[in-house]
Amino acid sequence: MSSRGKTTFLAAVGLVISMAASILLLHHIDEIQPRATIEDALYINSPKIVRRASLGFDGLMACIYWTRTVQYFGHRHFLREHSYNELAPLLEITTALDPHLIPAYQFGASFLAPRPPNGAGQPERAVELMRYGVQNNPDNWNLYYNLGFIYYTELKDYAKAGEAFAQGSKVPNAHPFMKILAARMAEHAEEYSTARILWTATYESSKDNEIRENAAEHLRSLKVDDDVTQLQAAVDRFARNSGRLPANLWEVVAAERLPGIPLDPDGNPYELSADGQVQVQDPDDFPFLTKGVPPDYKPGPPKFHIQH
Amino acid sequence: MSAIEILDLEKTYMVGFWRKRPKRALQPLQLTVEEGEIFGFLGPNGAGKTTTLKILMGLVFPTAGTARILGRNWTDPEVKAQIGFLPEQPYFYDYLTAHELLDYYGQLSGIPAKDRKRRIDEVLSKVGLADVKGLQLRKFSKGMLQRVGIGQAILHDPKLVFFDEPMSGLDPLGRREVRDLMEQLKQAGKTVFFSTHILSDAEALCDRVAIIHKGELRGVGAVETLTSSVQGKVEVVWQGTQIPSSMKTLGAECHATGDTVRAVIQEGQQDAAIDLLRREHIRLIAITPLRTSLETYFVEKLQHSQTTAGKSA
Amino acid sequence: MSARIVHIASNTFREAVRDRVLYNLIAFAVLLSGAAILVGQISIEIERLVVVNLGLTAVSLFGIVIAIFIGIGLVSKEIDKRTLYTVLSRPVRRWEFIVGKFFGLAGTLVVNTFFMAIGVFAALFYVAHKFSASDATILVALYFIVLEFLIICSLALLFSSFSSPLLSAVFAFCLFVIGSFANDLRGFAMLAHGFTRWIATAAAYLVPNFSAFNIISAVAHQQPVSAQLILQNTLYAVFYTAMVLSGAVLVFEHRNLK
């Protein structure tokens, strides 16, 4: 082989081998240190400093931080982590870099406020974030909605929630349900239907997959809660009328002249425990249940129904 | 073993930006150069001389064909140890001094350290740069750079040297020195292959020449043969302005200039002409066999090829 | 063979030095000492932080600039000025030329970094009045910066072997920036679908990944550095550089030199 041919061959082989080795190494690094960037990215915790360090490329940096935020939360959420300490700083930096990045505020409302493992459990910071968002985007009714949402669901402050919904309803092009929600807050109206309106509103007004999935899960669990409440009432009526617990739900169905045993959103029939409690067949499918769960239930790994 | 054997070496470039068209820089070239001779590679600018040299140096890759240098394949890296190259209008690392440059080249040529210094000094004095060896090359004139170029080409005492336009940029004294140097190389048994478009240099120096034009070889031959009295004519010069009528019968072309007449006659008519002049009591000044100059041969080859090129194109 | 590479490398080093590249050290020294003195006067517990952060960032940036500016001309300048012809007419293989140039530039940067390191430690001593054991991690940070330089040098050299200096500078700089955000690029890729995802992932793995090399903040906060990270980064830098240099050799081996 000519000298040139030999060199070409060896160089090509060298190229392929070292390329493969580099890629494998990177892959390996990925496995053992998946979130290295996040941790050390947040050595700069202050939004002001990040802003200065961006050399004027705030918008791009905001996008980058936003992507990191989503990945950070998604990864930890999947592992059912109990702490999301970096979520608030990440969101604060993102919105400091770009105050008009609306999805970031929505993400904060959905995942910064709720308690772990579904969120970071920092509703006050979430409120601050929403107020900052409202200040910078006064024409966006959605942010008022998120603010009211947090006050209602996590802080149980109906007065402030009502205020937020009312302010939001005055924004031009606000969705009609803002007025409705403001009114319901004022009336301390019935919890389930209000919650249903809220989660439906969230589901419909967001384009983010994680937020929608979260809202959908809430709605499903709400349905179960509602069903269980109604069914439990029927079981209790039966017990009062016949003086004994029903042997199974068919007796209740017959007594109430229902078309059949009600099915949960999965399509599984509800069950009756030995001591007369209505339960759902597979609690793992409904992460946000407050009713219909056996007393000794321990949540398993999360199962989600909307695929990424 | 020939010093250089070129077999069907060919180079076609693709020119143009979007749709590339082929441009033939070198038609299949056949050439042989023997050891110990000075060989001139002649042609007008753009003829393909530099392309040929670059291919032989491995700087450009031919589209087809091969060459052997000193018996080895021209792509063999070991060949390089035996050859030296002076490119056209050379330029060297201007941050180095002449001495440092030659030292660097010596290292790359594999000259052992103990021989290098001696060799560098020898070469520098040979090319007349001994007193500027500490001067940075950025301060060198064109002529000085040419000398450095020659120096690096002969530094490792190669058997065969390639010079591309070695006289370019030199004043008459410099050109004389380069000519002397090339003669010296030949005396030492080296082979010199150089390209030029200055025919008088080639005529003075070369054993053999080749003429190339538009990438095609037009002619090869020994200088002696090519410039011998091909035409077989003789020039006769006599005193006065008189032109005897019988001169014309001999088929002479006569021109009177000043107080002499110059006539060109066939070689065979020489004696008849002399007798004629003597009979007419005309004083003969000179009789000289006319030699074709290389220039004539050159131009003829170019024109000839243009007409054939016109037919074959 | 290796002798020729060494000669080419040392000539490249000599060229850089005579090109007055080492004068950048003066600018660096001025910057760092100015900062050290300023910060030493303010004295609010962050002197060490400032000196380490500023010093290492300056080492990194100065070096990247030098690597790119010298690297882009390594081959193209020799071709333009035709100094390459007389080199290649000698028993020098084209690949030896590439490798020699690489080591010459890398060597220049190592020497430059060495002097800068002395400056950083001097400034550190000035503000902190003593060295602690954790300062050894600064050496690791410097080592990682040098590894980054190796990668950038090889990239600049690759571009120099086929592209003009201006384009080479643009490409090399782009790759440096993208490489600093390589992990984010992988993140973007993971969120994409289909063909785009495939392309983005391939790109994310092929660009140099500098994320793991930048431990300046960690070192400023006196965090320890794991031996595994050192090994990993070393291996990655070696393989990545080898890959790029192989590419440069391949390109250069087949190039017709005008």
Could you tell me the pLDDT band of residue A132, with boundaries at 50, 70 and 90?
very high
CA distance linking residue B306 with residue C16, whole number of Å: 51
Query: What residues in A contact C221, CB-CB < 8 Å?
Result: 43
B237: distance to nearest CA of chain C, Å? 52
**Closest residue of B to A5, CA-based?**
B75
Residue A204 lies in a domain: no
DSSP per-residue codes, A216-271? HHHHHHHHHHHHHHHHHHHHHHHHHHHSS--SSHHHHHHHHT-SSSPBPTTSPBPE
Summarised one tens digit per residue, pLDDT across range B231-273 is 677 888 888 888 888 877 777 778 777 788 888 888 788 888 8
A282 touching chain C per CB within 8 A = no
User: Is the pLDDT reported for residue C168 higher than 60?
Assistant: yes
Contact B73 A2 (CB under 8 A): yes
Residue linked to tokens 């410099």: B174
Across the range A166-175, mean pLDDT stands at 87
**Interval C5-32 mean pLDDT:** 88
- Whether the link from the prior residue into A117 is cis, omega within 30° of 0, is yes
Which tokens is C82 given? Answer: 């035709």
**Interface-testing mutation among C246, C251, C252, C256, with chain A (most A C-beta atoms within 10 A):** C246
| pLDDT at residue C249, as a whole number | 95
The H-assigned helical ranges of chain B are 49-57, 98-109, 113-126, 142-154, 172-187, 199-205, 223-227, 245-249, 270-279, 294-312
* Average pLDDT value for residue range B26-51: 89
Indicate if A115 and A172 belong to the same structural domain.
Answer: yes
Cα separation of B246 and B263, whole Å? 12
pLDDT bin (cut points 50, 70, 90) of residue B311 is: very low
Q: Each residue of B73-101: pLDDT tens digit?
A: 988 888 999 999 999 888 899 899 999 99
Question: B202 or A51: which carries more pLDDT confidence?
Answer: B202
Say what percent of chain A tops pLDDT 70.
Answer: 88
Q: What is the pLDDT of residue B276?
A: 86
Angle between helical axes of C2-18 and C94-128 (0-180°, round to 10): 50
Give residue limits of the domains in chain C: 2-253
Do residues B110 and C93 lie in contact, with contact meaning Cβ atoms separated by under 8 Å?
A: no
Neighbours of chain A (3+ CB pairs under 8 A): B, C
C-alpha C156/C-alpha C245 separation (Å) is: 10
Q: What is the pLDDT of residue C55?
A: 87
pLDDT above 90 as % of chain C? 44
- Select the more confidently predicted residue: B311 or A142: A142
What average pLDDT does the segment A260-267 reach?
86
Give which of A9, A25, A54, A210 to mutate to test C binding, by max C Cβ within 10 Å. A25
CB contact under 8 A, A67 and C211: no
Q: Give the Cα separation of C210 and B62 in Å (integer).
A: 42
**Based on the domain organization, do A60 and A115 belong to the same domain?**
yes
Residues in A closer than 8 angstroms to C189, CB to CB, are none
Q: How far is C258 from chain B (nearest CA, A)?
A: 8
A180-193 pLDDT, tens per residue? 788 778 766 567 77
Mean pLDDT of A25-51: 64
Q: Which residue has the tokens 């994310």?
A: C204
* Listed range (A172-176, B111-115, B290-294, C218-222) with the worst mean pLDDT: B290-294
- Say how many Å lie between the first and final Cα of chain C, rounded: 26
Q: Whole-angstrom Cα distance, residue A14 to residue C247?
A: 9
Residues A231 and A108 in one domain: no
Measure B223 CA to nearest chain C CA, in Å: 29
Interface test with B, best of C20, C90, C97, C251 (most B CBs within 10 A): C90
Residue contacts between A and C (CB atoms, under 8 Å): 84
- Which of A173, A190, A207 represents a domain boundary (last residue)? A190
For chain A, give the mean pLDDT.
Answer: 81
DSSP string covering B218-242: EEEEEHHHHHS-SS-EEEEEEESS-
d(CA B98, CA B96): 7
Please give the pLDDT value at position A33.
54
Which amino acid, B236? Answer: V
Q: Which residue has the higher pLDDT, A113 or B293?
A: A113
Which residue of chain C is at minimal alpha-carbon distance from A75? Answer: C187
Chain B nearest CA to C250, separation (Å):
15
* pLDDT reading at C139 higher than 50: yes
Q: How confident is the model at residue C157 (pLDDT cuts 50, 70, 90)?
A: very high
CB C183 within 8 A of CB A36: yes
- Give the C-alpha separation, A12 to C152, whole Å: 21
B84 to C254: CB separation less than 8 angstroms, yes or no = no
Residue C254: its chain B contacts at CB < 8 A?
61
Q: Do A19 and C206 touch (CB under 8 A)?
A: yes
A69 confidence band (pLDDT: 50, 70, 90): confident
**CA quadruple A99, A102, A107, A112: dihedral sign:** positive
- Same structural domain for residues A151 and A257? no
A118 part of a folded domain: yes
| Pairwise CA distance, residues C146 & C156, whole Å | 15
- Is residue A131 domain-resident? yes
**CA-to-CA separations, B178 to A259, B159, B170, B174, B199, in angstroms, rounded:** 115, 18, 9, 6, 15
- Residue A190's pLDDT is what? 62
C78-99 average pLDDT score: 91
List the beta bridge partners of residue B181: none
Residue C142 Cα to chain centre, angstroms: 11
Contacts of C148 (CB under 8 A, 6+ apart): C60, C63, C64, C210, C213, C237
- Residue A184's domain is classified under what CATH number? 1.25.40.10
- The tokens for B211 are 């003429």
Q: In this complex, which of A4, A37, A64 lies closest to C253 when CB atoms are compared?
A: A4
Strands B191-196 and B38-42: parallel
The pLDDT score that the predictor gives to residue B101 is 94
* The pLDDT value given to residue A301: 61
> How high is the pLDDT of residue A304?
53
ipTM exceeding the 0.95 mark? no
Report helix, strand or coil for B143.
helix
- Answer for the pair B127, B180: CB distance below 8 angstroms, yes or no: no
Sheet of strand B233-239, all strands in order from the earlier edge strand to the far edge: B253-257, B260-266, B233-239, B284-289
Task: Please calculate the CA angle C105-A55-C139 and round it to the nearest 5 degrees.
Answer: 45
pLDDT at B231: 64
A104 and A118 Cβ atoms separated by less than 8 Å:
no
* Res C68 pLDDT > 70: yes
Amino acid A55: pLDDT: 67
**Does residue B118 carry a pLDDT above 90?**
yes
- Span B282-294, average pLDDT: 80
Identify whether the C-beta of residue A96 lies closer than 8 Å to the C-beta of residue A59. no
Which helix (H) or strand (E) segment holds residue B14: the answer is strand B4-15
pLDDT at A2 over 50: yes
Q: What share of chain B is helix, strand, coil (3-state, %, to 5)?
A: 40, 30, 30
Which residues of B are less than 8 Å from C256 in CB distance? 59-61
Choose among C186, C217, C243: nearest Cβ to A43.
C217
Number of domains in chain A: 2
- Nearest 5°: the CA angle A236, A240, A241 is 115
> How much is the mean pLDDT over chain C?
88
Confidence tier at B308 by pLDDT (50, 70, 90): low
Residue of B nearest to C9 (CA): B104
With 60 as the cut, is the pLDDT of residue A1 above it?
A: no
Task: Indicate if the pLDDT at residue A49 is higher than 80.
Answer: no
A vs B, Cβ pairs < 8 A, gives: 6
Cα distances (angstroms) measured from residue B86 to each of B210, C87, C235: 19, 11, 44
Give the per-residue pLDDT at B295.
75
Residue with tokens 């330029």: B91
Residue A219, pLDDT > 80, answer yes
Amino acid C25: pLDDT: 84
Whole-number Å distance between alpha carbons of B183 and B205: 7
- To the nearest whole Å, the CA of B251 is away from the closest chain C CA by 55
Tell me which of B59, B75, B78, B80 to substitute to probe the interface with A (most A C-beta atoms closer than 10 Å).
B75
When scoring A3, A6, A7, A8 by the number of chain B Cβ atoms within 10 A, the one with the most, hence best to mutate, is A3
pLDDT band for position A43 (50/70/90)? low
Q: Inform me whether the pLDDT recorded for A127 exceeds 60.
A: yes
Q: Does residue A290 contact residue A226 with C-beta atoms inside 8 Å?
A: no
* Interface residue B18 vs chain C (CB under 8 A): no
Distance from CA of C203 to the nearest CA of B (A): 28
Q: Are strands B160-164 and B191-196 parallel, antiparallel or unpaired?
A: parallel
CB within 8 Å: C242 and A14? yes
pLDDT band at residue B37 under the 50/70/90 scheme:
very high
Please give the pLDDT value at position B313: 40
Q: Please give the pLDDT value at position A36.
A: 47
| pLDDT greater than 70 at residue A307 | no
Q: Do residues B251 and B202 lie in contact, with contact meaning Cβ atoms separated by under 8 Å?
A: no
Residue of A nearest to C95 (CA): A7
B158: pLDDT confidence band, cut at 50, 70 and 90?
very high
**In which domain, by residue range, is A114 found?**
38-190
Answer yes or no: is A249 within a domain.
yes
- The alpha carbon dihedral of A110, A115, A116, A120 has a sign of positive
Q: What is the dihedral of CA C77, C79, C83, C87, to 10 degrees?
A: 120
Sign of the torsion formed by the C-alpha atoms of A202, A205, A211 and A213: positive
Q: How far is C79 from chain B (nearest CA, A)?
A: 10
Token look-up 């999935």 returns A213
With a cut of 80, say whether residue A215 has pLDDT above it.
Answer: yes
Which residues pair with residue B161 across a beta bridge?
B84, B192
- DSSP β-ladder status, B72-73 and B64-69: antiparallel
Q: Are residues A46 and A181 in the same domain?
A: yes
Contact predicate B261/B286, CB 8 Å = no
Residue C16 distance to chain A (closest CA, Å): 27
Whether residue A203 is predicted with pLDDT greater than 90 in this model: the reply is no
Q: Contact, B259 vs B285, CB < 8 A?
A: no
Confidence of residue A228 (pLDDT cuts 50, 70, 90): confident
Is residue A42 domain-shared with residue A182, that is, in the same domain?
Answer: yes
Is residue A4 less than 8 Å (CB to CB) from chain C? yes
